[in-house]
Amino acid sequence: MHVLLQACILGLLTGAVYALMASGLTIAFGVMRVINVAQGALIILGAYLSYELFVRLQIDPFVSILVLTPLTFMLGVGLQLVFIRPLRSDEREELSLLVTWAIALGIEGVLSVLFSTTYRSTNTSYADNSWVVGGYHLSEVRVFAFALSLGLLGLLFVLLGFTRLGRAIRATVQNPTSARLLGVNGDVVSAIGFGLSVATATAAGAVYGIIFPFNPGSHYDLISRVLSIIVLGGLGSLGGAVVAALFMGVLEAVFAVEISPEWSSFVFFIVLIGMLVVRPQGLFGSTVRGSL
């Protein structure tokens, strides 16, 4: 029982990081019907950037997020303008899959050239510390990561729910044509949405780099997990993505402890298949164009 609970705690802490990763993907899909396959590569890019800042300038990864997210927000806006925007809207959903896959390959290639393919890990001084609460170990890094992820997700919810920009984004998600008729500039909203999505990827990546070792090829493993999560939660549903991420984090950790760590990533796929058989639109997905 003790082991099981410990695994649940660990899973919940990791699940929050998955939730942050998945939230960016969901926003990009909601705003533009774009599945960003490059999200995994952008997360790894974030991990490398914060790793470099840490090794060269001794900037703590949690602090470097403050610097990196505005930068990568601009990168996201740039990617959207150059690669996604030129695609015709009726084939955007299909072509964007391939274009973002190409972007992922490009990022993987550039990272391999710059950093080689050896595994790195951001080893902060507190990386191995943990608190003991009631007999359970709480790794400091994971608790920070959990808090950061929840904080950023909270910010995202506030941004989407209570600001003018958020209202414009939600309007575009629900009905792009009507939103445009009411004076929302769809192009600007799409660019900002994609920028936000890339910025969350970087933040998640900075945290990922402390918890797990990574190399340029790690993005495939990440993207397959995060994609399963957003399908599970229902494409385009932000709440669904968060719930699915936490659920999968816990399930994966419990499976790793109770059955086999080697097969633990299989949990994602088994749950995904089960969900498709029972409810193809996912937990909170709707069959029509929905809301975030």
The reply to whether 99 sits near other proteins by the rule CB under 8 A is yes
Per CB under 8 A, 268 contacts other proteins: yes
Within 10 angstroms of residue 271's Cβ, the number of other Cβ atoms is 18
155-170 in b/e burial notation, b at 16+ Cβ within 10 A? ebbeebeeeeebebbb
241 contributes a contact to other proteins by CB under 8 A: no
Interaction between residue 60 and other proteins (CB under 8 A): no
* 194 contacts 31 by C-beta, under 8 angstroms: yes
Q: Which stretch binds other proteins (CB under 8 A): 3-11, 55-63, 103-111, 185-193?
A: 103-111
Compute, in degrees rounded to 10, the torsion defined by CA atoms 89, 90, 95, 100. 30
CB of 268 to other proteins, least distance (A): 7
Residues in the chain: 292
89 binds other proteins (CB under 8 A): no
Q: Which is nearer to other proteins, 145 or 222 (CB)?
A: 222
* Four-point Cα dihedral 246, 249, 254, 257, nearest 10: -160
Check residue 33 for interaction with other proteins (CB under 8 A). yes
List all residues 6 or more positions away from 174 whose beta carbon is below 8 Å from its beta carbon.
289, 290, 291
Looking at 54-62, 141-149, 199-207, 257-265, which segment touches other proteins (CB under 8 A)?
A: 257-265
Least Å distance, CB 166 to other proteins, is 24
How many residues touch other proteins under the rule CB under 8 A: the total is 46
CB of 167 to other proteins, least distance (A): 25
User: By CB under 8 A, which span of 48-56, 79-87, 146-154, 175-183 interacts with other proteins?
Assistant: 79-87
Nearer CB in complex with other proteins: 70/261: 261
93 binds other proteins (CB under 8 A): yes
- Nearest approach in angstroms of CB 194 to other proteins is 16
- Burial of 283 from C-beta contacts in 10 A (0-12 / 13-18 / 19+): middle
- Per the listing, tokens 């973002």 go with 100
Residue 138 or 201 having the CB closest to other proteins: 201
Residue type, 135: G
CA dist 29 and 236 (Å) reads: 6
Name the residue among 106, 205, 203 with its Cα closest to residue 153: 203
Nearest Cα to Cα of residue 146 among 75, 246, 64: 246
| Structural tokens at position 53 | 């800042």
Interface positions, 269-288, toward other proteins (CB under 8 A)? 269, 272-273, 276-277, 280, 282
CB of 166 closer than 8 Å to CB of 155? no
Give the binding site for other proteins (CB under 8 A). 29, 33, 35, 37, 83, 86-88, 91, 93-95, 97-99, 101-103, 105-106, 108-110, 112-113, 220-221, 223-224, 227-228, 230-231, 235, 262-263, 265-266, 268-269, 272-273, 276-277, 280, 282
